[in-house]
């Protein structure tokens, strides 16, 4: 779990650069912290390339001077900036509306409607800001946002698609 203050400040700086922070993971040690930052474009769509290596480099270079001056962060930190990938995590409430129509996988804290803790289906969207609606095997399933441990887009290779 990342330091919430650091995460909020990084998210703001990433947004000022024209991207959105998907996730921040803190790893390593206090003496040599590793900051793994996943970024995306605010208008990205499932299955479309969104973030390039140049984008990741740009964000990394822009954050380094700020991180160099950050109180309480070892000067031996490592920052790794990457794309969220084709199976992008859904980390913010707005993601559940933004990617409506896409196939998603959801892991919950408790079993949902006799389906277990892992549910996969087509994302309908976020209802009343608190329940994620999915189409699963012809049924609509609603999952309280607070019960979701992790959610992500599902990518399927299509026949004939280059790998």
Q: What is the mean pLDDT of residues 24-28?
A: 94
Retrieve residue 104's tokens.
């998603």
Retrieve residue 131's tokens.
């329940």
pLDDT in tens, 111-139: 987 888 999 999 999 999 899 999 999 99
Angle formed by the axes of helices 53-69 and 4-16, nearest 10°? 130
Whether the pLDDT of residue 163 is over 90: the answer is no
Class (C level, CATH) for 95-153: mainly beta
Whether the pLDDT of residue 63 is over 50: the answer is yes
Residue ranges covered by each domain of the chain = 4-82, 95-153
Write down the pLDDT at residue 1: 41
Q: How far is CA 9 from the centre of its chain?
A: 17
* Contacting residues for 150 by C-beta, under 8 A, at least 6 apart: 89, 106, 107
Q: What is the mean pLDDT of residues 12-16?
A: 97
Retrieve residue 135's tokens.
């189409």
Write down the pLDDT at residue 161: 52
* Contacting residues for 126 by C-beta, under 8 A, at least 6 apart: 93, 94, 96, 97, 132, 133, 145
Retrieve residue 8's tokens.
């909020």
Write down the pLDDT at residue 32: 95
Same fold, 4-82 and 95-153: no
Q: What is the mean pLDDT of residues 127-153?
A: 94
Whether the pLDDT of residue 29 is over 90: the answer is yes
- Provide the b/e sequence for 118-131 (b: ≥16 CB within 10 Å): ebebebbebeeeeb
Q: What is the mean pLDDT of residues 36-63?
A: 91
Q: In CATH, which superfamily holds the domain spanning 4-82?
A: RimP-like superfamily, N-terminal (3.30.300.70)
């Amino acid at each position: 779990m990342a330091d919430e203050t650091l995460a909020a400040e990084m998210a703001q700086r990433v947004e000022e650069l024209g991207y959105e922070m998907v996730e921040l993971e803190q790893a390593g040690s206090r003496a040599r912290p590793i900051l793994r930052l996943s970024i995306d474009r605010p208008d990205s769509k499932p299955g479309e390339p969104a973030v390039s290596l140049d984008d990741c480099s740009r964000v990394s270079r822009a954050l380094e001077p700020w991180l160099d001056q950050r109180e309480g962060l070892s000067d031996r930190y490592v920052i790794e900036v990457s794309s969220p990938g084709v199976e992008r995590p859904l980390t913010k409430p707005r993601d559940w509306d933004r990617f409506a129509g896409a196939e998603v996988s959801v892991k919950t804290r408790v079993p949902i409607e006799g389906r277990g803790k892992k549910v996969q289906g087509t994302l309908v969207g976020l209802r009343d800001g608190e329940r994620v609606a999915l189409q699963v095997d012809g049924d609509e399933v609603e999952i309280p946002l607070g019960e979701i441990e992790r959610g992500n887009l599902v990518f399927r290779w299509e026949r004939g698609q280059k790998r």
